[in-house]
Amino acid sequence: MEKQFSVVGKRLPMVDAAAKVNGSAQFTDDLTFPGMLHGKLLRSPHPHAKILNIDVSKALRLPGVKGVVTGAEIPDRQYGIVPKARDEYALAKGKVRYIGDEVAAVCAIDPEIAEEAVDLIEVDYEVLPAVFNVQDSIKEGAPVIHEGVANNTSFAIRKEFGDVEKAFAESALVSEDSFYSQPVNHAPMEPHAAVAQYDPVRGQVVLWSSTQIPFFLRRNLSATLMIPESKVRVIKPKVGGGFGQKIDMFAKDFCAAWFAMKLGRPVKFVYERDEVFIVTRQRHPMHLTVKTGMAKDGRILAQQFLSYADGGAYNSTAPTMMALSCFFLMVPYHVPNLLYEGYHVYTNKPVGGAMRGHGIPQARFAVERQLDLMADRLNLDPADVRTKNSIKAGEPHPGGFVINTCGFAESVQLAAEAIGWKEKRGKLPFGRGVGMGGASFPSGVTNMSHISSGAVVQVGQDGGVNVLTGAADIGQGAETVIAQIVAEVLGVSLDDVRVTAADTGTTPLDPGTFGSGVTVRAGNAARIAAESVRKKLFECVADELEANPDDLVARDGVIFVTGSPEINITFPKALKAYQYKDLPMPLVGRASWMADTNEPTTLFTQPGNFSPNYSFMTQAAEVEVDTQTGKVKVLKMVTAHDCGRPINPMLVEGQLEGSIAGGMGQALYEDVITEKGQVMNPSFLDYGFPTTMEVPEMESIDIETDDPVGPFGAKEAGEGTQLSPAPAIVNAIYDAIGVNFNELPVTPEKILKALEEKKKQGV
Amino acid sequence: MRLPKFDYRQPESIQEACAILLDQPDAKVLAGGTDLLVNMKHRVETPSMIVSLKGLRDLDYVRKANGMVRIGALTRLKKVYNDPFVAKKLPALAAAASSVGSYHHQTMGTLGGNLCQQTRCKYFNQSKWWRSARPLCFKAGGDPCHVAKKDQVCYSTYCGDVAPALLVLNAEVVLSGREGSKQVPLESIFSGVGKTPLNLEPGQILTEIVIPEQSADGFSTYKKIANRGSIDFPIVGAAVWTSASTGESRIALTAVDRKPVRTRQLEDFLKGLELNEETIQGVDGLVAKETQLMMSSIDSISYKRKLMGQLVKSALSEAMGGR
Ligand SMILES: Cc1cc2nc3c(=O)[nH]c(=O)nc-3n(C[C@H](O)[C@H](O)[C@H](O)COP(=O)(O)OP(=O)(O)OC[C@H]3O[C@@H](n4cnc5c(N)ncnc54)[C@H](O)[C@@H]3O)c2cc1C
Ligand code: SF4
């Protein structure tokens, strides 16, 4: 039998792994240019204040300072990743809304002078009353954070289908429980940075930025600098992690470009670690009340949600976040009747934004916890409840999603087996327990403007393949996956493929890295582009092989007739033949890909499909609680995962492992602690996310489904697995010590307190 | 974050170092720099001059002589815990030194620097910009204390791991000045004053740590609870030394007060008592009494108090088993 694939599905190291290991990979801060200047931002020390006056004269007089800019001087153009939710200026105009809000920027010949100059800027503030939580912020008479936004509620959504009330009335058990998820920081290893250069002759700004979304950044820069998009070129060097935090434009991007344009010299901004913690983005803290009606056998009959997201001072991705948080309550379980109400509320605190899972981890935590609570109340096995409620491929979906493949029920069973569910659940000694959580995630979105990717594949005379893609590899391996797809289509090896990526000046349009759509969207574009190259080659060599071009296969450097591998021609010879026939070189193929566009653009008011395809997973944890110190040790985490056909299983595992560490952080370790709006732990040391030493034994089980839409059957593997580890851990804690925690994180202190309470009550 | 500007000197002898320090009252000694440089970047310490001890090569040793174990102040923590005698006979010291920060801190950080490290506070160990959101606190040069909510006091916490271990091993330290050197009990160098936690005279440096070899005879251990296994200051750390022959015990804690604390009342309580489950249960109340916990870190007082009792009890239980 002919083997199916040679490059796809292989555990191959990332194409840039060696450069990252030997240190030659260039990140934004590694770039230096002759005459480069260094920028620094002055930030608000107040959570809420009017800016009465800014005196920059002293700063300007400091030798070495080349420029200072304040909000008063920049164009009156707000930015934001979601057009209808734009509410931010690169530098505050008239008012600051949280501790860290940008007030002015300085640019000097070295970073030390820039830092010194920032201290010389004198700002008169009129301090305003501030609010630090949702409850206070929505109250009548609360301080107004953004003019014209009533109750500080910048975004409200409501989605409803079926008849929730009727279903509740028919339920054997209706439970209402409240949950809280804390603010979590992405903490990428590489701090946010930007370098800008200006070409006064062509009037073009070039910005190198540590970003996930070069093309959106170009648009935001163009809008705020008030120059055409064609005059802005954004280049993404290597990026050391993003997790959603680098989806927005930041003051560093705007100010670098601003100064470069004004001063005609390259300008660099690099954020400090405390800036990354305080002034970029964080996962939204969210209060969520869930009311679920269940039949006696554990079937979900209806769910009703009320959620309040604490957005901090600005919107960032608010509408998208709220929408995702809502829509992804419709998978992986069949919810026939649903009512969701959600509110995004401003507070004078750090800004919430996209973070791995984007609104869904908070919702998933609530639902997965409540499933366990209700299974307990109905005396059912939580694993059975999950399988029983699983949606199924090909069946009508109450919300209108199109589910072509779904390995969810299988994932519950396999995860349960691997963790030893039957033998362990409820049977381990006190202090030890197992728990699980399930989830599903989209591979990008269907039918939204600009959510479309292009690719160009070019084969040179020596057989080297060049791929141009706009996909933004931020460390997850997007370039590797795209190279594997192209190599597979052309039947060459991964080494033959070079990827040039993410430069709005040279590479095709791509929305960037978010929504876990890169592999499906940019991967499909690359696949089709490569296929068009292959088609030309096949047509050229078909005569020689006395075969129909449709019967040819390219694999392992050879083109052969399907079923008769002995009738073949090598890839280099085929290329030569192509040239000798006086066909034009280079061989180029290009393609654009977008998901099915027949779907409604908003799912708030009508049913419809959200994504080209959906990943499914169950994660099961075994934990040990130290009843003396309250510490929770995660002993093992199993992931049973349906991401279609993994293009590179090793990269998928990397994502799984990272998500387990992230989920442990969310469940046990991480919390952006604020006191009156000030972040108390803005460092790697004090924030305290888990490290390698905390990471448990990890087992991953691949449930291969061959998805019809994804390239080579692939689905997303980036964000979905971030949803289930936290509830799995907290559910396991319940199994271990019999305490239900509905608020994150579950700190050792909370555990000790709960154990004491328990002792007091004599249970 | 960048270092502020400073002059740099690298003397070749202790005398020279002391002379420079006397001359430049706001100069600071630099050993491994893992504590000092971070504070300088945060601008909570801004010495006009750094006096590097790198040139004093003869302060890097662990040796035994005349019934004493002598360790040079510049000995790296890693070398301390890898020393065969320390590893085998002074387990409390080995455990404490190997629990400091991460491996990197242990290869760069020195024993002297560890003992002399600054006290810590969540309002103090922050960048200059961060701190600008509040009035400058007392320790950083202003008046108020954000922890105590009053003026002119400082409750920053001593968080060094090694001091409690050395305290229970009855260590002394050699302080060298221009006029020569003197040996004093380690405990005496900790002032208990948050703003100026060390009792060093101008121009004085700590040059040697001296541990009586008798301390090797008892049982000793250091136990630390920290957030993560790879790095982190102690939430609470406790060292215990007990002697089966004399029935004596010595107990010291860190991260619970402005200095490392020897819990003498508790030691008195345990004196002569047989260590058993019952006596051990009695320690909880006593431990708490001898420390002054304040909200200077993000860990709550009540949690620290619980851990303190747990740690001492578990160390004592181990001591019981160790006999
Ligand atoms: C991320 C991080 C984690 C850490 N975790 C821990 C931890 O878990 N436990 C812990 O104990 N420490 C920890 N530290 C603090 C520090 O790294 C260690 O205490 C280290 O041992 C300090 O030694 P050093 O030689 O680097 O000191 P330095 O930074 O060189 O000096 C520290 C202080 O002592 C003074 N000094 C140094 N040597 C002498 C001397 N011979 N005489 C007089 N004064 C002197 C210096 O002037 C300075 O004020 C941590 C630090 C960081 C940054
Ligand atoms: S305890 Fe008070 S004075 Fe001391 S460092 Fe903290 S805030 Fe400053």
Q: Which residue of B has its CA nearest to A98?
A: B133
Report if residue A114 sits inside a domain. yes
Residues of B with CB below 8 A from A685's CB?
Answer: 231-233
Instruction: Note whether A685 contacts B127, CB cutoff 8 Å.
Output: no
**Looking at CA atoms only, how far is residue A478 from chain B in angstroms?**
30
Specify whether A200 is located in the same domain as A333: no
Selected residue of A109, A182, A274, A687 to mutate for chain B interface (largest B Cβ count, 10 A): A274
**Nearest residue by C-alpha to atom 22 in ligand 1:** B114
Overall size of chain A counted in residues: 763
* Phi, psi values for residue A720, rounded to 5°: -50, -45
Residue B139, ligand 2, Cβ within 6 A: yes
**Residue A42 CA from chain centroid, whole number:** 29
Following DSSP, what letter does each residue of A207-237 receive, concatenated?
A: EEE--S-HHHHHHHHHHHHTS-GGGEEEE--
Contact B199, B190 (CB under 8 A): yes
Helix (H) or strand (E) segment spanning residue A678: strand A678-679
Q: Which residues of B45-75 are buried (b: 16+ CB within 10 A; e: fewer)?
A: bbbebbbbbeebeebbebeeeeebbbbbbbb
Report if residue A269 sits inside a domain. yes
pLDDT, position A448: 63
Enumerate the H helices of chain B as residue ranges: 14-23, 36-41, 77-82, 84-89, 91-97, 103-108, 111-115, 128-131, 162-168, 264-270, 277-281, 283-289, 301-322
Nearest atom (ligand 2) to Cα of B137: 8
Q: Taking 50 as the threshold, does the pLDDT of residue A77 lie above it?
A: yes
Residue B47, ligand 1, Cβ within 6 A: no
Distance CA A314, CA A544 (A): 64
Instruction: Note whether B126 contacts A628, CB cutoff 8 Å.
Output: no
Q: Taking 60 as the threshold, does the pLDDT of residue A740 lie above it?
A: yes
Specify whether A110 is located in the same domain as A230: yes
Contact of A85 with chain B, judged by CB distance below 8 Å, is answered with no
The residue-averaged pLDDT of A322-343 equals: 97
Specify the residue for token string 């769910």: A303
The residue-averaged pLDDT of A539-549 equals: 94
Total count of domains within chain A: 3
The residue out of A544, A569, A593 marking a domain boundary is A593
Specify whether A563 is located in the same domain as A708: no
Closest to B198 measured CA to CA, from B118, B256, B110:
B118
Report if residue A135 sits inside a domain. no
pLDDT, position A447: 63
Residue B145, ligand 2, Cβ within 6 A: yes
Report if residue A737 sits inside a domain. yes
pLDDT, position B273: 81
Specify whether A193 is located in the same domain as A306: no
What letter does residue A761 receive in the DSSP assignment?
Answer: T
Distance CA A416, CA A405 (A): 21
Selected residue of A628, A631, A633, A689 to mutate for chain B interface (largest B Cβ count, 10 A): A628
The residue-averaged pLDDT of A618-637 equals: 97
Instruction: Note whether B310 contacts A688, CB cutoff 8 Å.
Output: no
Percent share of chain A, pLDDT over 70: 99
Q: Is the dihedral of CA B54, B55, B56, B62 positive or negative?
A: positive
Nearest atom (ligand 1) to Cα of B38: 53
Specify whether A629 is located in the same domain as A584: no
Interface A–B counts its CB contacts (< 8 A) at 65
Contact A435, A621 (CB under 8 A): yes
- Two tokens at A5? 């694939």
Residue B235, ligand 2, Cβ within 6 A: no
Residue B36, ligand 1, Cβ within 6 A: yes
Range of the domain at A436: 286-446+602-761
Specify whether A378 is located in the same domain as A425: yes
Specify whether A367 is located in the same domain as A315: yes
Specify whether A347 is located in the same domain as A203: no
Specify whether A440 is located in the same domain as A500: no
Nearest atom (ligand 1) to Cα of B101: 5
Report if residue A55 sits inside a domain. yes
- What CA–CA distances, in Å, run from A90 to A3, A250, A432, A518? 54, 7, 50, 28
Report if residue A147 sits inside a domain. no
Closest to A464 measured CA to CA, from A570, A591, A571:
A571
Burial, A30: exposed, middle or buried (Cβ in 10 Å; 0-12, 13-18, 19+)?
Answer: middle
- What CA–CA distances, in Å, run from B304 to A482, B159, B289? 51, 13, 13
Tell which phi-psi region holds residue A8, choosing left (phi > 0), alpha (psi between -120 and 50) or beta.
beta
The residue out of A529, A562, A593 marking a domain boundary is A593
Contact A8, A645 (CB under 8 A): yes
Percent share of chain A, pLDDT over 90: 94
Collect all residues with Cβ–Cβ distance below 8 Å to B91 and sequence separation of at least 6: B220, B221, B222
Q: Is B1 helix (H, G, I), strand (E, B) or coil?
A: coil
Distance from Cα B222 to the centre of ligand 1, integer Å: 19
Measured CB to CB, residues of chain B less than 8 Å from chain A are 1-2, 5, 122, 125-130, 132-134, 225, 227-233, 298-300, 302-303, 306-307, 310, 314
Nearest atom (ligand 1) to Cα of B105: 17
pLDDT, position A3: 65
Instruction: Note whether A691 contacts B230, CB cutoff 8 Å.
Output: yes
Closest to A486 measured CA to CA, from A452, A453, A446, A456:
A456
Q: Which residues of A712-723 are buried (b: 16+ CB within 10 A; e: fewer)?
A: bbbbbbbbbbbb
The residue out of A593, A614, A647 marking a domain boundary is A593
Question: CA A750, A756, A758, A759: dihedral to nearest 10 degrees?
Answer: 160
Give, in degrees to the nearest 5, the angle at Cα A237 between A231 and A239: 125
What letter does residue A744 receive in the DSSP assignment?
Answer: S
What is the CATH number for A328? 3.30.365.10
Specify whether A486 is located in the same domain as A575: yes
Q: Taking 70 as the threshold, does the pLDDT of residue A763 lie above it?
A: no
pLDDT, position A450: 65
Q: Taking 90 as the threshold, does the pLDDT of residue A81 lie above it?
A: no
Cα distance between the two ends of chain B: 51
Closest to A614 measured CA to CA, from A327, A387, A419:
A327
Mean pLDDT of chain A: 96
Specify whether A343 is located in the same domain as A486: no
pLDDT, position B277: 80
What is the CATH number for A194? 3.90.1170.50
- Two tokens at A187? 């903490």
In this prediction the pTM is 0.97
Please report, in tens digits, the pLDDT of each residue of chain B (323 residues total). Answer: 889 999 999 999 999 999 999 999 999 999 999 999 999 999 999 999 999 999 998 999 999 999 999 999 999 999 999 999 999 999 999 999 999 999 999 999 999 999 999 999 999 999 999 999 999 999 999 999 999 999 999 999 999 999 999 999 999 999 999 889 999 999 999 999 999 999 999 999 999 999 999 999 999 999 999 999 999 999 999 999 999 888 899 999 999 999 999 999 999 998 878 878 888 888 888 888 899 999 999 999 999 999 999 999 999 988 887 54
Instruction: Note whether B228 contacts A693, CB cutoff 8 Å.
Output: yes
Specify whether A699 is located in the same domain as A748: yes
Report if residue A163 sits inside a domain. no
Report if residue A158 sits inside a domain. no
| Closest in A673, A682, A691 to B130, CB measured | A682
Q: Taking 70 as the threshold, does the pLDDT of residue A68 lie above it?
A: yes
